[in-house]
Structure 1
Amino acid sequence: MNSNDTTTRKHVRRSTLIAGLAVAVAVTLPLGLTAPAQATTDGTAGGATAGAVAQRTVSGRSSDDVTRVADFYGAYIDARLDAENGRLATELRGFYVRADHLAEIARWEELNQADGILRAQNVPLKWTVKGTGTAGQVGVTLTWGQSATTRLVVDLDRDHKITHIGTPGTGGN
């Protein structure tokens, strides 16, 4: 056997090994990781239909303070955006907020001429809710524009009802 045959066999084995590995990787990885995105002139990506959106998942538990506050703020903001749905915003307040704090919110609104849940006269573009590390307390960040945000601290009782909404560090409304 000459060295040319040996070199050719090594090359064929190496090529076969590389091809086999490429197929194995392509089969085990999700399609999105193996196929490059290709932009088209109609704004879709490589054969995707217009309007196709990556799947998202949102989960929660009714016994979790963060979930309860996120559910409340999401529904409340939606109700406020629907100008004809003022009654729903009031009903949401009654469901999520303890009655004694509703009176506090009404006083704050009278004094500040703004919505006591959002601490503003308008509705935010987006919101973020996360735990603070303290039991019964949740942080809310409302985003109004490029960089304008309002940070709130929401306290809850054992029944997951809101007992206080205030700004961080002030201990009050």
Structure 2
Amino acid sequence: MSSKTRTVLAAGVLAAALGLGATAQASAGAPRSVSGKPSDDITRIADFYGTYIDAVLDEDSGNLGKALRSHYLTPAFQKELAAWEDRAHADGVLRAQNVPLAWKVTDAGTVRNHTEAVVTLTWSRGSTTKLVVDMTRDSHRIFHIGEKGAGRN
């Protein structure tokens, strides 16, 4: 098993252990419960964003973030994202130069052969950015990330 495969598997185990991929809600004093399934595109997008944000926040070298991109993004979109990052001098997954304080993934429906989600990133002082994220239904890989209302990049 390659180190890249081990890194991606470790990230998946970490995501599952942390319960990424679904909204965790509980009333005061009640235990939290989180669920998800790998065949569900919204769960996969949430897993990616939760793990990616943790990786960017925790890691200086960026190896885990790169491995996650390689696993969750189509090869063509990885190239497109790199070009966007060169132009914008920002992280293309987050569309920002810093790391959000919180994230939420909302199902925006299925269009033809892909699932669309809105990812809401919450920054300091409660400001938010909404991203549209598209994932293919067959390969379960992300092929587009863009700011909501900004059109295709």
The verdict on a shared fold, with TM-score over 0.5 as the criterion, is yes
Displacement of 1:85 after TM fit? 5.0
Helix, strand or coil for the counterpart of 1:116? coil
Measured in 1, the distance between the counterparts of 2:45 and 2:125 equals 24
Q: Which amino acid aligns with 1:162?
A: I
Match runs of 1:10-159 below 5 Å: 54-84=30-60, 86-135=62-111, 136-158=115-137, 159=139
Displacement of 1:171 after TM fit? 2.3
Measured in 2, the distance between the counterparts of 1:167 and 1:84 equals 26
Q: Give structure 1 regions of 4+ aligned residues with deviation exceeding 6 angstroms.
A: none
Gapped runs of 5+ residues in structure 1? 1-36, 38-52
Measured in 1, the distance between the counterparts of 2:60 and 2:89 equals 20
Q: Which amino acid aligns with 1:107?
A: A
Q: Which amino acid aligns with 1:78?
A: D
> Alpha carbon RMSD of aligned pairs, Å?
1.6
Measured in 2, the distance between the counterparts of 1:83 and 1:112 equals 22
Gapped runs of 5+ residues in structure 2? 1-27
Helix, strand or coil for the counterpart of 2:60? helix
Q: Which amino acid aligns with 2:117?
A: V
Displacement of 1:86 after TM fit? 1.1
Displacement of 1:145 after TM fit? 1.6
TM-score (ref. length: structure 1): 0.67
Greater Rg by CA: 1
Kindly tell me the number of residue pairs found equivalent between the two proteins. 122
TM-score (ref. length: structure 2): 0.75
Q: Which has the higher strand share?
A: 2
Which structure exhibits the higher relative contact order, with contacts defined as CA atoms closer than 8 Å and separated by 6 or more residues?
2
> Percent of counterpart pairs with the same letter?
54
Helix, strand or coil for the counterpart of 1:140? strand
